[in-house]
Amino acid sequence: MEKYIINGGNRLYGKVAIQTAKNSVLPILAAAVLTDEEVCIKNVPHITDVKNMVKILSCLGCKAVFQGENLIINSSSADCFEIPSALAHELRSSVFLLGSVISRFKSAKIAYPGGCDIGLRPVDLHLTGLKRLGVDITESNGYILCKCDKLSGNEIMLDCPSVGATENIMLAAVKAEGETIIKNAAREPEIEDLQRFLNCIGARVSGAGSGTVVVEGVEKLSGGEFVPIPDRIEAGTFLVAAAMCGGEVELERVCPENLSSLLHKLRENGCKIYANGDKIILQSGKRLTSVKSIETQPYPGFPTDLQAQITALSCICKGQSIITENLFETRFKYVPELRKMGADITVINRSAFVRGVEKFKGATVIAHDLRGGAALVLAALAAEGRSEVLDISHIDRGYGAFEFKLRALGGDIVRIVV
């Protein structure tokens, strides 16, 4: 087990390069199963979720090898349609492989996926969409079993704009016969990125980023090279870190337009923000002012994956805030840990009522999930005194070289093996 030891109180100054998006890379890796030709995904972050996805690809018979920051995948030798339960339980995004594996083998077997414990994330929408494409599905003893003679295009209306279901249906439909129309599709930038990758290797997908995605089935896909978009959640985490600690931080390799909801809130807090091209500069000096209300929503609304970080910021702002989580029902598990550091928060149902305190106090806290763990690190960096953040394996799922980047900005943070 490993932990962070953090001495808080330092302002942050400098530049940080943002990694490619975890939530873009993972479905793209699943999509690589669809082609027999070699695929090169560039600038892939060395995070636990990616490493687990590579292990799953290897278990399917694919060859996946890192060459520096690039990941080379060759699926021509893929010969297995079962995703091991141990790995599926470690990685929520393993469910993306259902669409690509059923397309490749006309059969798929997967245990219910795992990942962070942030509430119910049912795969019903995924399965309903696959059934509309002609897949027979049975669920038994914790496994999802899929079979079909062929995949046929169809019109699919999602009950809600689920990112995972939209992407899974896209992957299954790429080589289906005929046209598939996904209505009430999610609009996240990562879905647009998956469309760009699929089209790069010969697919015919259009409409991603809107509420309707159209997939025209093709017989064969090719290889190619692809650079995923920057990680808007990592970028947002560093912006909030700079806002909390004070100083001036410049983000490089970032898409400001994908962060508009966060930038709007940080400006309301009192931060000075300058965005130009693929760079964002944030300046934070005096104690910031609370934003009265923040609600998580599907894109382009405020992202649920930045809810914990913005709540941590609200804890040390002047005034009061109400942060409402509309997507996942148990995503406030980090709140008792922030209370150990002096936060004044009351959670009622899906809302956190935050009364700002002057500063956090150092404490020993536990990371229960990826984004909540990141929020605790930010709180410790802004705190008075020494903190320990335990169980940081959750944080490693989504942030590559997190402590090195923070240390380069002036944060006093070290990783210790317990």
- pLDDT of 286: 86
Does the pLDDT at position 117 exceed 50?
Answer: no
Q: What is the mean pLDDT of residues 282-288?
A: 94
Does residue 228 surpass a pLDDT of 50?
yes
Q: From CA 1, how far away is CA 380, in angstroms rounded?
A: 19
pLDDT band at residue 115 using 50, 70 and 90 as cut-offs: very low
pTM score, whole prediction? 0.95
Other CB atoms within 10 A of residue 416 CB: 11
- Judge whether residue 272 has pLDDT over 50: yes
Q: Set out the domains of the chain in order of their start, with CATH numbers.
A: 2-19+230-417 (3.65.10.10), 22-226 (3.65.10.10)
- Over 80: is that where the pLDDT of 382 sits? yes
Q: Is the pLDDT of residue 302 over 50?
A: yes
Mean pLDDT of 290-319: 97
pLDDT digits 0-9 by tens, 346-359: 999 999 999 999 99
Average pLDDT along the chain: 94
Which structure tokens are listed for 94?
């393993």
Q: What are phi and psi of 412, to 5 degrees?
A: -95, 90
Tally of CB atoms within 10 A around 196: 17
CB 167 within 8 A of CB 27: yes
Mean pLDDT to the nearest integer, 365-371: 96
Q: Contact 37/63 with Cβ under 8 angstroms? A: no
> Given pLDDT bands bounded at 50, 70 and 90, which one contains residue 50?
very high
Would you say residue 116 has pLDDT above 60? no
Report whether 191 contacts 173 (CB < 8 A).
Answer: no
Confidence grade of residue 328 (pLDDT, cut at 50, 70, 90) = confident
> Residue 156's beta-bridge partner residues?
182
Predicted pLDDT at 326: 94
Mean pLDDT, residues 267-295: 96
Give the per-residue pLDDT at 84. 77
Model confidence pLDDT, tens digit, residues 231-267: 999 999 999 999 999 999 999 999 999 999 999 999 9
| Residue in the block written with tokens 């997190």 | 402
- Which of 40, 62, 80, 116 is the catalytic position? 116
Residues 140-172: pLDDT tens digits?
Answer: 887 889 999 999 999 999 999 999 999 999 999
Q: Which residue has the higher pLDDT, 124 or 227?
A: 227
Give dist(CA 410, CA 92) in Å, integer: 33
Nearest to 188 by CA among 155, 157, 233, 156: 233
116 flagged as catalytic:
yes
Contacts 24+ apart (CB under 8 A), 110-114: 110/82, 110/83, 110/143, 110/144, 111/83, 111/84, 111/85, 111/142, 111/143, 111/144, 112/88, 112/142, 112/143, 112/144, 113/88, 113/89, 114/88, 114/89, 114/90
Give dist(CA 374, CA 368) in Å, integer. 10
Is pLDDT at 25 greater than 50 in this prediction? yes
